[in-house]
Amino acid sequence: MATILITGANRGIGLALVQAYLKRGDSVIGVCRNSSEALKRSGAEVIEQVDVSQQDDLDKLHSQLGGRTIDVLINNAVLIGTAMDPFHWRRNGSTPFAP
């Protein structure tokens, strides 16, 4: 059993990954700014109030993990503002996915 940490785990692809890894029998930590009912009901450990673009939030996350080993990190969180120029839109969309 692996320990999987997934950012952006509250909906969409992130939530689907949480469900898939839990079904496989892995231990899953779902990280997000604001949780969803589906994530809370999933059985994953949920860590909320984490904005991956803020170093203070990442430091708090590190403290909350308490030295646990993470076997797989899936950075699924995406930052989209109200106005995003084409360069940043492409950069966000071209992030490679890995199994």
Predicted confidence at residue 70, as pLDDT, reads 95
Report strand pairing: 3-7 vs 27-31. Answer: parallel
Q: Give residue 63's domain range.
A: 3-93
**pLDDT one-digit tens code per residue, 59-76:** 999 999 999 999 999 999
The token pair at 73 is: 């990190």
Place of tokens 């692996």: 2
**What is the number of structural domains in the chain?**
1
In a domain, 63, yes or no: yes
Domain harbouring 47, CATH code: 3.40.50.720
Q: Binning pLDDT at 50, 70 and 90, where does residue 99 land?
A: very low
Cβ(54)–Cβ(77) below 8 Å: no
pLDDT at 86 over 90: no
**Residue type, position 89, single letter:** W
Q: Give domain status of residue 99, yes or no.
A: no
